[in-house]
Copies of this chain bind each other. A is one copy, B any other.
């Protein structure tokens, strides 16, 4: 408080605007609260006299240039108490707390003592001194907080003395000095570093401004019915219509919401007394105002009101903060009530928030005994017993006991265990680790990279971050939404796909202009995709199918076959199983396209690496262990990601693709028997040169011809290329000439474009993101600059090579709203994402289309 004297105002900079129906008050210059208050004034609601200070003005105040305080005071009734509240552009960005009762001094105290009673007046003054000392003069809070408000007269004396002692000057008496100090303090708090970081974390731009609103107080204390309260017409948890809120006689601000304050219900209520009973006229007027605000402000509003001697004042209104499911229901209800359009309803729901609806969650008010933290890799929560192996997970699942699979990291061999578990927890990995990808695909809650817990799989033990030991069989909860691990079984909230959700999604589908498919490998995935109205399967990986027991052994025989004939014999055994896989998929997806990626991973992924496994394999193949070990070692690769996999296997060991093509085509005939004809899409992975496509295409066409002849029936199929090497993007024109479609695999493409293995990136990715070397983890958010540049090149060249060719994105990025924006703008036909991301993607796509139409209208 170096200098409280008001300085000369500069009319160019200083914008102090009384809020009237015609004043120039806008969100981007004065903040949301100021704008909302103006709308209330326009609706002719009983809003106390209010003045708005613009962002620019507040910024000048922080720099030491105050507006003309006397002029500002002159806007209000002489001797009135004032309150000052923040008004940022987006209310979510926060801001300094409101300061009430500015203008209090001995003279006002005397007047108010007469008006509302000595104790009430002293309590107001004491409250003002406390708030001012702590938040404005920034004195030691301990000194002021302990002063007893129950004896306000001595309390006030103590407070004023303590202020003088601590601040080394008397408590200011002049309302102008008080107001100037309050404005300066709030302005400076906004510009402080921690406040800036906090709001930037919530998405505020670096130069986000703060407006201030100075309002004449309606006291809420005094003779007659006086008090304050908060009201809204909706339940913020459910979104159902319900008058909620509280009212407290002889109170100010949001006191009514304080626990144990003895507040009243608003509407008549069997649980206790209500405002409706206490002051039926004010209540009725309040409801009228609330309904008017809902209709005219076109949102569910939370209203702050005060009753002064029976007279209602509306102090403020904000949009009700609510859960995602309430937000969905509210948006739909507002549209159904004709208050907003369907398109607006679509824009009102944050796509990412939908995830919350699609999964069980830990109840928001549950006590959380957090034992570990990691990456929130797949949303939802589940409780189960700890198991450390996939086999144990299957054993427990067989007894219907929910279990949590706890692994250092997962590999394809764990997939069946993941199917059996209710959630997965791993020590290593990031958003795109195996566990995370499969977890999201299965809709399985998953926390990965919980490296600060200690994993002792051999000792069947897990140690929490704070050193507690959990044994196999102990119950824990994995909260994949927040990325935490909890001890025990906290209460849960079930997933809820209610009618509002379905209604909103149907509106979204009508609005969007890019197709959404799902990545689905199993019948369960496909069923999820179908339930979520995916437009088809954009990526069906076939390799997991070979890990099932029974198949794995045959697979290994195939790998160890010495001749093409032996290899074919082994594959012959796999053929009927593959065919059944595809028949199931085609039946579930009937009428929709299913894009099957041919076998992709390196063969050595199917071989054991530990001694026991090698011994078993040697027995199964009747070979010496040393021989098996040597051959397994010989198949090892330095960089398996860049090795003998994908189409390279297809070209050098063509029998595998032959078998798969036959399985697909025979399944096509089988599934077409009962219903609509199936048109399978067959996709070749890891292509880097057009010739690979030619070679594989020739063989697959030959298989198709053979199947047609053998079965005497015709069918159609589409052959496409998974574009996932930079070279395939660069040569997409020539590749497209052999392909019906191009599907860009952004996972591998990102790895190759960066020269960065996603399995190894975990070591430094968090460092890199926190140091802003990378703006985001490119495996999580599509890198539109680098990978995006290649995608655009690939798309342009592909369309050059074959005009109108179907082009899409598959991979982990597909469901991401930013990625969808990129793909839509670039001109892709569809994106494909995890089944559980499909609703998010549908909504995001709809929002993009609507915004695009709005901008171009």
A757 cross-chain contacts in B, Cβ below 8 A: 637-639, 641-643
Known A638-B760, A644-B764; contact A786-B727, beta-carbon cutoff 8 A = yes
CA distance A730 to B755 in the complex (A): 13
**Does the CB pair A759–B689 fall under 8 Å?**
no
Q: Are A763 and B639 in contact (CB under 8 A)?
A: no
Q: What CA separation (Å) do A786 and B688 show in the bound complex?
A: 9
Interface size class, chain A: 35 or more
Measured between C-beta atoms, what is the minimum distance from A153 to chain B in Å?
Answer: 60
A744 CB to nearest chain B CB (Å): 13
Expressed in whole angstroms, the Cα–Cα distance for A641 and B756 within the complex equals 8
A753 touches B726 (CB 8 A): yes
For window 689-714 of A, CB contacts with B under 8 Å fall at 689, 691-692, 695
In the complex where A786-B731, A790-B726 touch, is A773 in contact with B637 (Cβ < 8 A)?
A: no
Q: Does A772 contact B (CB under 8 A)?
A: yes
Q: Is A751 an interface residue (CB 8 A)?
A: yes
Q: A residues 622-672 with Cβ under 8 Å of B?
A: 637-644, 648, 651-652
Contact B730–A786 (Cβ < 8 Å): yes
Is A755 within 8 A of B725, CB to CB?
yes
Q: Which of B639, B730, B774 touches A642 (beta carbons < 8 Å)?
A: B639
Known: A688-B786, A754-B725, A767-B651. A639 touches B759 (CB 8 A): yes
**A643 and B760 form a contact (CB under 8 A):** yes
A724 at the interface (CB under 8 A from B): yes
Nearest chain B CB to A707's CB is how many angstroms away? 25
Does any Cβ of B come within 8 Å of A787's Cβ? yes
Q: Quick one: which of A753-786 are within 8 Å of B by CB? A: 753-757, 759-761, 763-764, 767-768, 771-774, 783, 785-786
1/0 per position for A774-814, CB-CB distance to B under 8 A? 10000000010111011000000000000000000000000
Verify if A686 is at the interface (C-beta below 8 Å from B): yes
A748 at the interface (CB under 8 A from B): yes
* A752 contacts the other chain (CB 8 A): yes
Contacts of A640 in B (CB 8 A): 638-639, 760
Please name all residues of chain B whose beta carbon is closer than 8 Å to the beta carbon of A760 when the two chains form the complex: 637-640, 642-644
Q: Which residue of B is nearest A691, CB measured?
A: B773
Measured in the bound complex, the distance between the Cα atoms of B761 and A639 in whole Å is: 10
Q: Are B639 and A771 in contact (CB under 8 A)?
A: no
CB distance from A476 to the nearest CB of B (A): 25
Determine if A753 and B752 form an interchain contact, defined as CB atoms under 8 angstroms apart.
Answer: yes
Contacts of A754 in B (CB 8 A): 642, 688, 725, 727
Whether the Cβ atoms of A773 and B651 lie closer than 8 Å is: yes
Contact partner of A771 (CB less than 8 A), chosen from B641, B695, B773, B783, is: B695
**Across the interface, which residues of B come within 8 angstroms of A785, CB to CB?**
730-731
Q: Which of B686, B731, B764, B787 has a CB less than 8 Å from the CB of A648?
A: B764
CA distance A748 to B756 in the complex (A): 12
Are B768 and A651 in touch, CB under 8 angstroms?
A: yes
CA distance A785 to B688 in the complex (A): 11
Query: Given the interface contacts A641-B639, A753-B726, does A652 sit within 8 Å of B764 by beta carbon?
Result: yes
Q: Output the least CB separation between A691 and chain B (Å).
A: 5
Task: Name A641's closest neighbour in chain B (CB-CB).
Answer: B639
Contact residues in B for A751 (Cβ distance below 8 Å): 642
Contacts of A730 in B (CB 8 A): 753, 785-786, 789-790
Question: In the complex the two chains form, what is the Cα distance from A760 to B651 in whole Å?
Answer: 16
Nearest CB in chain B to that of A734: its residue:
B785
| Distance A261 CA – B726 CA, assembled complex (angstroms) | 64
Across-interface contacts of A638 in B (CB, < 8 A): 640-641, 757, 759-760
Q: In whole Å, how far is A791's beta carbon from the nearest beta carbon of chain B?
A: 11
The smallest C-beta distance from A164 to any residue of chain B, in angstroms, reads 50
Q: Which residues of B contact A639 (CB under 8 A)?
A: 639-642, 757, 759-760
Does the CB pair A686–B755 fall under 8 Å? yes
Minimum CB distance partner of A648 in chain B: B764
* B755/A688 in contact, CB under 8 A: yes
For residue A649, which residue of chain B has the nearest CB?
B764
B residues in contact with A761, CB < 8 Å: 643
A771 — which chain B residues lie within 8 A by C-beta?
651, 695
Cβ-neighbour of A725 out of B641, B753, B773 (below 8 A)? B753
A29 smallest CB distance to B (angstroms)? 33
Complex alpha-carbon distance, A787 and B726, angstroms: 9
Which residues of chain B are within 8 angstroms of A789 by Cβ–Cβ distance? 730-731
Residues of B contacting A786 with CB < 8 Å?
Answer: 688-689, 726-727, 730-731
Q: Which B residues lie within 8 Å of A727 (CB)?
A: 753-755, 783, 786-787
Asked whether A748 and B755 contact (CB < 8 A) given A639-B640, A727-B786, A771-B651, the answer is yes
Q: How far, in angstroms, from A748 to B642 measured CA to CA in the complex?
A: 12
Taken together as a complex, chains A and B put the C-alpha atoms of A787 and B751 apart, in Å, by 16
Q: Smallest distance from the beta carbon of A146 to chain B beta carbons, Å? A: 44
Partner of A752, one of B637, B752, B767: B752
Q: Could you say which residues of chain B place their CB within 8 Å of the CB of A748?
A: 755
Bound Cα distance from A774 to B688, whole angstroms: 9
In chain B, what residue has the closest Cβ to A768? B651
Q: Which of A686, A726, A754, A787 has the most CB of B within 10 A?
A: A726
Q: Is the CB of B755 within 8 A of A689?
A: no
Q: Count chain B CB atoms within 10 A of each CB in A652, A688, A760 and give the residue with the most.
A: A760
- CB-CB < 8 A to A753: which residues of B? 688, 725-727, 730, 752
- Per-position 1/0 for A679-692, Cβ under 8 A of B: 00000001011011
Question: In whole Å, how far is A84's beta carbon from the nearest beta carbon of chain B?
Answer: 41
Chain B residues, Cβ within 8 Å of A787: 727
Docked Cα-Cα span, A725 to B755, in Å, equals 6
Q: How far is the CA of A768 from the CA of B772 in the complex (A)?
A: 42
Closest approach, in angstroms, between the C-beta of A729 and any C-beta of chain B?
A: 9
The smallest C-beta distance from A12 to any residue of chain B, in angstroms, reads: 37
A38–B759 alpha-carbon span in the complex (Å):
69
1/0 per residue, CB under 8 A from B, across A721-756: the answer is 000111100110000000000000000100111111
Residues of B near A774 (CB, < 8 A) are 689, 691
Closest residue to A754 on the B side, CB-wise? B688
In the complex, chain B residues whose CB is within 8 Å of the CB of A773: 651, 689, 691-692, 695
Q: Determine the chain B residues whose CB is within 8 A of the CB of A724 once the complex forms.
A: 755
CB distance from A403 to the nearest CB of B (A): 28
Bound together, the chains give a CA A120 to CA B327 distance in angstroms of 113
Q: Give the CA-CA distance A774 to B759 in the complex, in Å.
A: 29
> B691–A772 contact, CB under 8 A?
yes
CB-CB contacts below 8 Å: A593-631 with B: none
Inter-chain CA distance A773–B652, complex, in Å, is 11
Pick from B652, B752, B768, B783: contact of A755, CB under 8 Å: B752
> Taking the nearest CB of chain B, how far is it from the CB of A805, in angstroms?
20
Q: Which residues of B contact A688 (CB under 8 A)?
A: 753-756, 786
| A268 and B754 alpha carbons, distance in the complex (Å) | 73
The smallest beta-carbon distance between A289 and chain B, in angstroms, is: 52
Q: A688 to B761, alpha carbons, bound, how many Å? A: 13
**How far apart are the CA atoms of A227 and B135 in the complex, in Å?**
121
Distance (Å) between the CB of A32 and the closest chain B CB?
A: 34
Instruction: Determine if A763 and B642 form an interchain contact, defined as CB atoms under 8 angstroms apart.
Output: no
A and B contact pairs by CB, cutoff 8 A, 6 listed: A639-B760, A651-B771, A724-B755, A726-B755, A727-B755, A730-B790
Q: Give me the 3 closest cross-chain CB pairs, A-B, nearest first.
A: A642-B757, A639-B757, A727-B786
10 more A-B residue pairs beyond the given contacts A642-B755, A726-B790, A731-B785, with a C-beta to C-beta distance below 8 A: A638-B760, A641-B757, A642-B756, A644-B763, A648-B768, A652-B767, A724-B755, A725-B753, A725-B755, A726-B755
